[in-house]
Amino acid sequence: MMSLRKGLLWFPWMVGVFALSILARSSAMARSTAQPNPQQVGEQEQALEQEDVTSVGPADLVSNDGTYRVHWTHPDGELEFGERFKMIVSVERSDGEPLQSQLSVDSRMPEHGHGMKREVRIVELEPGRYEVSGMLFHMPGYWEIYFDLTRGAVTERTQVSVDLY
Amino acid sequence: MILPLLFLVCFGPLQEPEPTQREPLGRHLRQLENLPQASGLAMDDEGRVWALERNSGRLWRIEPEGQRTLLNGELGRPTDVERGANGELFVTDAESSCVLRLDAAGKILARKAVTGSQLSGLAWTPERIYVTLASSHRVQVLDADGEPLFSFGSHGSDPGQMIAPSDVAVAQNGTIFVADSGNSRVQAFDKQGKFLHEFGDWGPFPGLFFQPSGIEVRGEEVYVADFGNHRVQVFDLKGNLVDRFGLHAIRPREGKGYIHYPTSLSLSPSGEFAAVAEPWVDRVQVFCRTGGVAEDAVRRQAMQLAKPSAHYGMDFACDGKFLFISEPESHSVVVFENSGDDPRRISRLGGLGRKTGLLTGVGGLHYDASKHELWVADPILRRISLYRMPGIEQAEVGFDALLPRFVKSVDLAKLHELELKRWLPTVPEVIAIEKDAAGRLYLLDAANACVIVLAPELESIESIGRGTLQRPTSLAVAADGQTLYVADAGGHVWAFHGAKRQPESIAQGFTPHGLALDEERQFLFATDPVQHRIWRFGLADKETISWGGPGLARNQFYKPRGITLDHRGQLVVLDHGNHRLVRMTVDGDYLATAGPRLYTRLLRYPHLTDKEGAQEEGE
């Protein structure tokens, strides 16, 4: 027969086992209540698939104050992180006046507060048409590409969003 | 024979006298209170301090026991002081752009004009005098008689260039060290002003700076007052970090070795004492090597691990349901949704950088709620930038970094080159922006002491106030653009009326900083950071009232700066020294407060009376 002293030694173990069984049971109940129906699962997977697709903003852009129209393409194919790419950028003024503006290009991740690690090279192919090389997104996520046009003392921005996955 | 030789070899070095290692500087010795806008400092080896008051033009000599002697009370706007030979003193006066030579009793012996603007720092050697010119972004070297020899530096961030240099010091070997405040670094030059090397960069970590403000060299050590990091850092002549002292004050006006926004720094000739000026709290603290009180080691460790805390800057804008406040630590503007009692942080814009859309400094904000447009002035990069916000309904949910969108910027150096240089001698340094109903922009230019008006197409139209304004700090513009009001720290609030912009002094006898005009043009409100008060001028009935006083209670302020009226017609005051916003009626009745510090939240407990609140917050 187990002595009282030995019984007292077993007591904490029994309490622990009881607590663990309660925990396991409540966790199983929580899982069972959180089980979505098959239709919900389908929708979630679809949403996840959509989020994982790189999405690139439109090719035809208007500058943030409406002064310029910018058309851009990336002829090397789909944009991917860690891959250098080039862009062909065409610029014209919305009011039809001669351009007389200087283009600079940059890209940033505004939610992370940083930009690209590299400087880009811009070559004017013909008046208002440029080749921009050396672009590289060094990590996946939300990027913005900036086409800044400077005329006199004023620089105006045109921008496009890239969700890169 | 061998034994004595062996003895000498083994024990000889022990008999050599070891060089005495001095205790590091940084033990708190005493503090000198009630020195309004304490700026330049000098010290001697007995522990005497010579201290300037920038706004009142006073020069004090303060004995170690605390007795004060007013040496001169008419020094214009003195910025720095150095002791020369035979007890003579040299003072830079930014008002007259002169270097003054004074005898030991404070009498002016000579006055030498320096070409350039905003004399900020001074170094004296028996052969030469060195002066930093903050708005001219260079160092002027004079001979011992104050005659110009040469200058070096230009605006920019390349080696040898500088932005708003704040002070200069010279080592025994002739190397010139410049506190390059706008670039948050120290640059070293040879005797001829040729660039040698630089150290530091922007940041809170050891060895980095947030606008170095004062600099001294003693022996092989360079001491740098690090304004925004609230400390003094010590480097060797090559720029290697050796030591630091001073910790960021936690409680308002804490002192006792904890420093807040140090500007000027002076060491005694032997380097035994250091004095640090804190104009933010109108105080000078004296540090020593032995005696005094050491830093609390536990708190030092805790604060070194803490991330830098954000402060409200001096500039803010409020219109509609958005509120924008500059945040110096992040070089950004924080966006708040302001429809309720408690402004809610919803986004930020800018961030440190020279690229388009980023900010290095924030010198003025204006928000136009009808167009959702925010103009931000950056006096360091010398440009103004426009950002656009979405409607308030789109900004209802949580924090979103993508809310503001950069639209365009104006490069003021380029605008000066193309248009403004016909009227204005130097590139504008914009510290405040306003806009009228017709879309004209009014830029308050500290460098040329005037207001520049730009058409909506951003072409310059006119400049206002040149010759009248001395040290403008802010402006308010009537919606029709017919009258504009300018606060001038020279002691006036000016009104410029009509097409001829006729000047009229509508208030004087105090030091205004921020201005706000109500829509009906009944009242003009001004903040007074010297008396810690708010002034209300009746534009129709000419009645003037004021309220406030120094402190933390509901109707008290500490160096209030910005002021505006919100969409409810209530006054919002940026109580800068207390790191908080205070909302009140136009009659000065307290309504609410908001801010990042815990003590501002105590004010919300309605059961506390002002006195109880003040006691609780103060303790």
Establish if A40 belongs to a structural domain: no
Instruction: Tell me: do A88 and A12 sit in the same domain.
Output: no
Inter-chain CB proximity B458 and A104 less than 8 Å: no
Instruction: Tell me: do A144 and A76 sit in the same domain.
Output: yes
Angle subtended at Cα B332 by Cα B326 and Cα B333, rounded to the nearest 5 degrees: 45
Angle subtended at Cα A132 by Cα A126 and Cα A133, rounded to the nearest 5 degrees: 130
At A25 the pLDDT is 44
pLDDT band at B618 (very low <50, low <70, confident <90, very high): very low
Average the pLDDT over B311-323 and give the result: 85
Among B609, B400, B489, B557, CA closest to A142: B400
At B601 the pLDDT is 56
At B452 the pLDDT is 97
At B436 the pLDDT is 94
Average the pLDDT over B541-564 and give the result: 92
Q: CA of A44, closest CA in chain B: separation in Å?
A: 23
Length of chain A (residues): 165
A-chain CB neighbours of B420 within 8 Å are none
At B96 the pLDDT is 92
Number of CB atoms found within 10 A of residue B49's CB? 25
Q: Which residue of B has its CA nearest to A156?
A: B408
Nearest beta carbon to residue A156 from set B407, B411, B414: B407
Identify the sign of the CA torsion B563, B559, B211, B466.
positive
Cα separation values, B80 from B31, B167, B214, B265, Å: 19, 9, 10, 10
Establish if A41 belongs to a structural domain: no
Instruction: Tell me: do A68 and A99 sit in the same domain.
Output: yes
Indicate whether B606 pLDDT > 50: no
Instruction: Tell me: do A85 and A155 sit in the same domain.
Output: yes
Task: Please report, as a single letter, which amino acid is at residue B554.
Answer: R
**Domain extent for A15:** 2-35
Establish if A100 belongs to a structural domain: yes
At A9 the pLDDT is 52
At B8 the pLDDT is 47
Inter-chain CB proximity B414 and A153 less than 8 Å: yes
For the domain that residue A104 is a member of, what is the CATH number? 2.60.40.1930
Establish if A44 belongs to a structural domain: no
Of the listed ranges A6-10, A60-64, B199-203, the one predicted with least confidence: A6-10
How many domains would you assign to chain A? 2
Of the listed ranges A3-17, B157-171, B283-297, B323-337, the one predicted with least confidence: A3-17
Burial of B577 (0-12, 13-18, 19+ CB in 10 A): buried
For chain B, percent of residues with pLDDT exceeding 70 = 90
At B608 the pLDDT is 47
Complex ipTM, two decimals? Answer: 0.84
Establish if A43 belongs to a structural domain: no
A-chain CB neighbours of B349 within 8 Å are none
Q: How far apart are CA A48 and CA A62, in angstroms?
A: 31
Average the pLDDT over B448-468 and give the result: 94
Chain A to chain B Cβ contacts (< 8 Å): 49
At B605 the pLDDT is 47
Q: How far apart are CA B272 and CA B536, in angstroms?
A: 49
Q: How far apart are CA A126 and CA B552, in angstroms?
A: 64
Helix H or strand E segment including B320: none
Nearest beta carbon to residue A156 from set B351, B402, B408: B408
At A76 the pLDDT is 87
Q: What is the pLDDT of residues A130-142, one digit of tens each?
A: 999 999 999 999 9
Establish if A98 belongs to a structural domain: yes
Establish if A19 belongs to a structural domain: yes
Average the pLDDT over B96-106 and give the result: 96
Indicate whether A21 pLDDT > 60: no
At A51 the pLDDT is 55
Inter-chain CB proximity B411 and A146 less than 8 Å: no
Inter-chain CB proximity B357 and A146 less than 8 Å: yes
Average the pLDDT over B10-17 and give the result: 46
B-chain CB neighbours of A106 within 8 Å are 355-356
Instruction: Tell me: do A82 and A130 sit in the same domain.
Output: yes
The answer to whether residues B275 and B30 touch, using CB atoms and an 8 Å cutoff, is no
At B22 the pLDDT is 80
Q: How far apart are CA B514 and CA B486, in angstroms?
A: 9
Number of H helices, E strands in chain B: 5, 50
Indicate whether B313 pLDDT > 90: no
Instruction: Tell me: do A21 and A75 sit in the same domain.
Output: no
Inter-chain CB proximity A153 and B402 less than 8 Å: no
Of the listed ranges A150-159, B258-267, B314-323, B517-526, the one predicted with least confidence: B314-323
Identify the sign of the CA torsion B301, B306, B307, B311.
negative
Of the listed ranges A29-38, B57-66, B214-223, the one predicted with least confidence: A29-38
Average the pLDDT over B65-78 and give the result: 95
Nearest beta carbon to residue A153 from set B355, B402, B410: B410
B-chain CB neighbours of A148 within 8 Å are 356
Q: CA of A150, closest CA in chain B: separation in Å?
A: 9
At B116 the pLDDT is 85
Burial of A9 (0-12, 13-18, 19+ CB in 10 A): exposed
Inter-chain CB proximity B356 and A113 less than 8 Å: no
Render the burial of B129-153: b for 16+ CB within 10 Å, e for the rest: bbbbbbbbbbbbbbeeebeeeebbb
At B541 the pLDDT is 87
Helix H or strand E segment including B304: helix B297-305
pLDDT band at B319 (very low <50, low <70, confident <90, very high): confident
B-chain CB neighbours of A153 within 8 Å are 410-412, 414-415, 418, 458
The answer to whether residues B164 and B134 touch, using CB atoms and an 8 Å cutoff, is yes
Write the DSSP string, chain A: ---HHHHHHHHHHHHHHHHHHHHHHHHHHHHHHHPPPHHHHHHHHHHHHHHTS-EE--SEEE-TTSSEEEEEE-TTSS--TT-EEEEEEEEEETT------EEEEEEEETTTTEE-SS--EEEEEETTEEEEEEEE--SSEEEEEEEEEEETTEEEEEEEEEEE-
Indicate whether B504 pLDDT > 90: yes
Query: If phi over 0 gives left and psi between -120 and 50 gives alpha, with beta otherwise, what is residue B164?
Result: left
Single pTM value for the model: 0.83
Share the mean pLDDT of chain B: 89
Nearest beta carbon to residue A152 from set B388, B407, B414: B414
Instruction: Tell me: do A79 and A159 sit in the same domain.
Output: yes
Establish if A45 belongs to a structural domain: no
For residue B29, give both structure tokens. Answer: 């010795």
Q: How far apart are CA B619 and CA B615, in angstroms?
A: 6
Inter-chain CB proximity B411 and A155 less than 8 Å: yes
A-chain CB neighbours of B412 within 8 Å are 153
Average the pLDDT over B394-399 and give the result: 67
Instruction: Tell me: do A62 and A19 sit in the same domain.
Output: no
Q: How far apart are CA B412 and CA B378, in angstroms?
A: 10
The answer to whether residues B310 and B330 touch, using CB atoms and an 8 Å cutoff, is yes
Of the listed ranges B279-288, B537-546, B595-604, the one predicted with least confidence: B595-604
Number of CB atoms found within 10 A of residue A25's CB? 10
Backbone angles phi, psi at B603, to 5 degrees: -65, -15
Instruction: Tell me: do A73 and A12 sit in the same domain.
Output: no
Average the pLDDT over A5-31 and give the result: 48
Inter-chain CB proximity B458 and A156 less than 8 Å: no
Instruction: Tell me: do A17 and A60 sit in the same domain.
Output: no
> Which range among A51-60, B338-347, B410-419 has the greatest average pLDDT?
B410-419
Q: CA of A115, closest CA in chain B: separation in Å?
A: 10
At A80 the pLDDT is 87
Q: What is the pLDDT of residues B174-193, one digit of tens each?
A: 999 999 999 999 999 999 99
The answer to whether residues B133 and B86 touch, using CB atoms and an 8 Å cutoff, is no
Inter-chain CB proximity A156 and B402 less than 8 Å: no
Q: What is the pLDDT of residues B155-173, one digit of tens each?
A: 999 999 999 999 999 999 9
Instruction: Tell me: do A136 and A84 sit in the same domain.
Output: yes
Number of CB atoms found within 10 A of residue B587's CB? 10
Task: Please report, as a single letter, which amino acid is at residue A3.
Answer: S
Average the pLDDT over A152-164 and give the result: 96
Q: CA of A31, closest CA in chain B: separation in Å?
A: 29
Nearest beta carbon to residue A157 from set B406, B415, B418: B406
Q: What is the pLDDT of residues B134-161, one digit of tens each?
A: 999 999 999 999 999 999 999 999 999 9
Instruction: Tell me: do A116 and A149 sit in the same domain.
Output: yes
At B318 the pLDDT is 86
At B424 the pLDDT is 94
